[in-house]
Chains A and B, each alone.
Chain A
Amino acid sequence: MSFALWFARLGEKFLNLAIYVGGVSILLVQTIRFAIMGPLDRFQVFDQMKKIGVNSLPIVTLISLFTGVVLALQSAYQMQKISAQLYIASLVSLSMMRELGPVLTALIVAGRVGAAITAELGTMKVTEQIDALETLATHPVRYLSVPRFLALMTMLPILTVYADLIGIIGGYMVGVYKLGIGSGIYIKMTFEPLMLKDLFTGLSKSIVFGVIICIVACYEGFRTQGGAEGVGRATTFSVVTSFILIIASDCLFTALFYFAF
């Protein structure tokens, strides 16, 4: 490959990146503006909250319970050597609150809900339903993006708190029934090291993750082209992008909280 061609392709990649970042930013600003301006369709918002939040409960329960169990078992493997099993309780609660709760929940929701949003909006786009919305004088961002945005921003933190609790219960089961730690002392060791800021750093992360999932999924849906294949491609791209952005922003936030607080 000649250098000129290589350079042109590199330029194209950067251009596409700039278009993507620009598009996502515009969608974010529009969504926030419409959400503040109102009027809000309450029925739509509640419907999305149910789809996003309530319907995600079973899988969130399952995954965070297993994570709590695994976390306790894996740390017991090491802690037993130095007779520090008691600290398993603190280790599980801290890592669930600060890290695993928010991130795992966000990844589950990105896979479950983000994919569904992109597929639904993408199908609407390729069947001209988005155009139809506009000809009926209804802005697609107001009608489609805003309810999902509000629902994700409220439901993801709630799911996260729920996942934290379930993970701690998983750890409790291992600690008390398998390792023989007393129930009272396990609970004491669980909550003793926790500070309010641990909960808040976790929750602020999950709000940001909610914004990422919604905007990426809606953006990919709105720009879908090319029939069923295009919808598939958009959905894959939406989930992959959400995953990368969630992990990357998690890294950024963790570093920020670590150095700032």
Chain B
Amino acid sequence: MIEIINLCKSFGPRRVFHNLNLTIATGETLVIIGRSGAGKSVLLKHIVGLIRPDSGQILIDGVDICSIRSITEVDKIRMKFGMLFQGAALFDSLSVWENVGFALIQHTSMSEEEIRHRVRECLTLVGLKGIEEMKPAELSGGMRKRVGLARAICMNPETLFYDEPTTGIDPIMADAITDLIIDLHDKLRVTSIVVTHDMISAYKVASRIAMLYAGKIIEVGTPEQIRNTQNPIVKQFITGAAVGPITEAEGLAI
């Protein structure tokens, strides 16, 4: 279980989070929606300990990741996580199999043959094969996301984070990635946290949806509850209306 308690963060004069609270239950798929620049990716980076908050706690199974000072302790928690980055963030000096097996190469004493076997398994799970020797630069956008996903699941994580998994790829590929998220969630029995502003994908994968606005989670609910929301801000966001309580500048810098 992941609990975020009274999280506050500012970058210079810009207040990104102000007393943000959110609980993510084990095994659920939580989708965090919000406008571009609302701080969705920043929230993910807080949970995996890439950014430290100004104040507040993030409890991962009861351990506050923000208060741990030792790198090895943080790394121990990170081993339970897998993260798919927005641009896939593959290491472009390494081949696909070295990318997918990166954590195994770095942290285990498995032989190259065993690692290659595990890499093939992971690539099959995301629907790819025969590309082990290619470099990331030779892959299409959708394939890169899949390889990034294979890398994220390689160490059998308990929690998977997706940072805008459907952004920047064509609608058909986006739907395939959405199906993949559902598929992996069922097969690997992981907790999934998806950050997106693609509502089609959000409705499809979510067991709960949370809306981030003005530094707070303003509403959490099942896809059905969100669809029938009475909150005018959430309503405007999910219908994508230009006219409403959210204006162009509002909600970004409070």
In angstroms, Cα B55 to Cα A238, docked, is 34
Contact A137 B75 (CB under 8 A): yes
Residue total for A at the interface (Cβ-Cβ under 8 A): 14
B86 cross-chain contacts in A, Cβ below 8 A: 128
A96-140 vs B: 1/0 string, CB under 8 Å? 000000000000000000000000000010011101111111110
Contact B78 A127 (CB under 8 A): no
User: Of A128, A135, A138, which contacts B87 at CB under 8 A?
Assistant: A128
B139 cross-chain contacts in A, Cβ below 8 A: none
Contact B107 A137 (CB under 8 A): yes
Q: Which residue of A lies closest to B93 (CB)?
A: A120
* B237 sits at the interface (CB 8 A): no
Q: Which residue of A lies closest to B154 (CB)?
A: A136
Contact B78 A128 (CB under 8 A): no
User: Of B71, B81, B92, B106, which contacts A135 at CB under 8 A?
Assistant: B81
In angstroms, Cα B144 to Cα A127, docked, is 13
In angstroms, Cα B137 to Cα A129, docked, is 14
Contact B81 A138 (CB under 8 A): no
B43-70 vs A: 1/0 string, CB under 8 Å? 0010011100000000000000000000
A129 cross-chain contacts in B, Cβ below 8 A: 89-92
Contact A127 B103 (CB under 8 A): no
* B203 sits at the interface (CB 8 A): no
Contact B79 A137 (CB under 8 A): yes
User: Of B50, B76, B151, which contacts A134 at CB under 8 A?
Assistant: B50
Nearest-Cβ distance from residue B150 to partner chain A, whole angstroms: 13
B91 cross-chain contacts in A, Cβ below 8 A: 124, 129, 132-133
Contact A136 B106 (CB under 8 A): yes
B87 cross-chain contacts in A, Cβ below 8 A: 127-128
In angstroms, Cα B83 to Cα A136, docked, is 9
Q: Which residue of B lies closest to A132 (CB)?
A: B89
Q: Which residue of B lies closest to A136 (CB)?
A: B103
* B97 sits at the interface (CB 8 A): no
Q: Which residue of B lies closest to A41 (CB)?
A: B106
Q: Which residue of B lies closest to A138 (CB)?
A: B106
Given A137-B103, A137-B107, A138-B106, A132 contacting B78 (CB threshold 8 A): no
In angstroms, Cα B87 to Cα A136, docked, is 16
B106 cross-chain contacts in A, Cβ below 8 A: 136-138, 143
* B102 sits at the interface (CB 8 A): yes
In angstroms, Cα B91 to Cα A163, docked, is 35
Q: Which residue of A lies closest to B103 (CB)?
A: A136
Contact B85 A132 (CB under 8 A): yes
Contact A135 B48 (CB under 8 A): yes
In angstroms, Cα B49 to Cα A127, docked, is 18
In angstroms, Cα B90 to Cα A128, docked, is 9
Interface residues of B in 219-254 (CB under 8 A from A): none
In angstroms, Cα B90 to Cα A124, docked, is 9
A124 cross-chain contacts in B, Cβ below 8 A: 91
Contact A132 B83 (CB under 8 A): yes
Q: Which residue of B lies closest to A134 (CB)?
A: B50
Interface residues of A in 141-155 (CB under 8 A from B): 143
In angstroms, Cα B79 to Cα A106, docked, is 40
In angstroms, Cα B42 to Cα A131, docked, is 12
In angstroms, Cα B23 to Cα A194, docked, is 73
Q: Which residue of B lies closest to A123 (CB)?
A: B92
In angstroms, Cα B90 to Cα A143, docked, is 15
Nearest-Cβ distance from residue B83 to partner chain A, whole angstroms: 5
B141-180 vs A: 1/0 string, CB under 8 Å? 0000000000100000000000000000000000000000
A139 cross-chain contacts in B, Cβ below 8 A: 71, 75
In angstroms, Cα B91 to Cα A23, docked, is 25
B21-32 vs A: 1/0 string, CB under 8 Å? 000000000000
Contact B71 A131 (CB under 8 A): no
6 smallest A-B Cβ distances: which pairs? A137-B75, A132-B89, A128-B89, A135-B83, A137-B78, A136-B103
Binding site for A on B (CB under 8 A): 45, 48-50, 71, 75-76, 78-79, 81-83, 85-87, 89-92, 102-103, 106-107, 151
Binding site for B on A (CB under 8 A): 124, 127-129, 131-139, 143
Q: Provide 7 A-B residue pairs closer than 8 Å at the C-beta atoms, listed in order of the A residue.
A: A124-B91, A133-B91, A135-B78, A136-B102, A138-B103, A139-B71, A143-B106
Known contacts A131-B85, A131-B89, then 7 further A-B pairs from the complex at CB < 8 Å, ordered by chain A residue: A128-B87, A129-B89, A132-B151, A135-B82, A135-B83, A138-B106, A139-B75
